[in-house]
Amino acid sequence: MSTTATAKTPYGFSVNISRKASGETFIHKVANYMWLPMLAMGVMVLAGTFIVGIFQADLASGTFPGSDAGDRANLETLKVLQPGIIFVGVALLLSGISFLLASVLGAIRWAGGEMQEKHAGEVQTPRMPWTAWAFLGLMMMGMMLEFASLGFHIYAAVQAHDYYIKGVPPAADATHLLGRAQTVLAYAAPLRMVGIGFLLAGIVAALYTIGNVLRFQFDRVTEIILGPTAPTGYGS
């Protein structure tokens, strides 16, 4: 594509004007390839935690009442660790959805360009709007926060293990280990929800972008049929 001009539009983004249709951007191509691995990894992580959950339940049935400190320590470690891993799985699934939405945006861009090249003299291609950048930023931030939260969960799990391994009942002078685990979890639990919040906000930004691009495409088709003075139905 050789851009000959750039024009502003009322849809929240500028357009490049050229003779030839532009293909998908690098981000769209990445999204085409990444949505399936992300979904697959999300499903695998969740299936893994489900299996570990069965093992955990089996451990619990043997641990109470009595049993040895090692089993109790393993049980408490898994209990602390599992929510962190589950939320990483959910984050991977939401990232898969995000990549799919980016892929939809790529398909709209590609098909819109092809249609304009065949039926109009010039091709108007939307430039990446700020909402699409926000979508990318939110998605990456969300994933990073989920992994940070997993790090906190791992640290808390180590502290819980060190506490419960000290005997049945655990030694009184080791209470600070349990306290440290609970304190770290107090940070980690809302942090993992903030991560999910970022991913959901990213999806909202992607949907808003799709809505705007569709408005542009419908108006462009109307313009091609009626000419440049065509009225639009959106009132903007």
Partner 1 sequence: MSVFTQFAHRVTDDRVITTTRASGYTLAQYMGIYLWLPMLLMGAIAVFTGFGLGIAQGAIGADLFETFDAGDKADFETLGALSAGFVVLGIGFLLSSISFALARIAGVFRVGGGQVQAAAGNEVRILAMPWTAWAFLMLMMMGFMTVIAGFIVHVIAASEIHDAWTGATSLSEPGNASDLGLANTLTTWAGPVARFGVGMLFTGIAFMLATIIHILRFQANRITQLATERRRSG
* Binding of partner 1 by 107 (CB under 8 A): no
The minimum distance between CB 229 and partner 1, in angstroms, equals 12
8, 54, 173, 225: residue in contact with partner 1 (rule CB under 8 A): 225
Q: What part of residues 194-223 is at the interface with partner 1 (CB under 8 A)?
A: 194, 196-197, 200-201, 203-204, 207-208, 210-211, 214-215, 217-219, 221-222
Binding part of the chain for partner 1, among 1-9, 74-82, 114-122, 227-235 by CB under 8 A, reads 227-235
9, 30, 226, 229: residue in contact with partner 1 (rule CB under 8 A): 226
The minimum distance between CB 79 and partner 1, in angstroms, equals 16
> Longest Cα pair distance anywhere in the chain, in angstroms?
83
* Binding of partner 1 by 187 (CB under 8 A): yes
**Using CB under 8 A as the criterion, which residues of the chain lie in contact with partner 1 when the complex forms?**
175-176, 178-180, 182-184, 186-187, 189-191, 193-194, 196-197, 200-201, 203-204, 207-208, 210-211, 214-215, 217-219, 221-222, 225-226, 230, 232-234
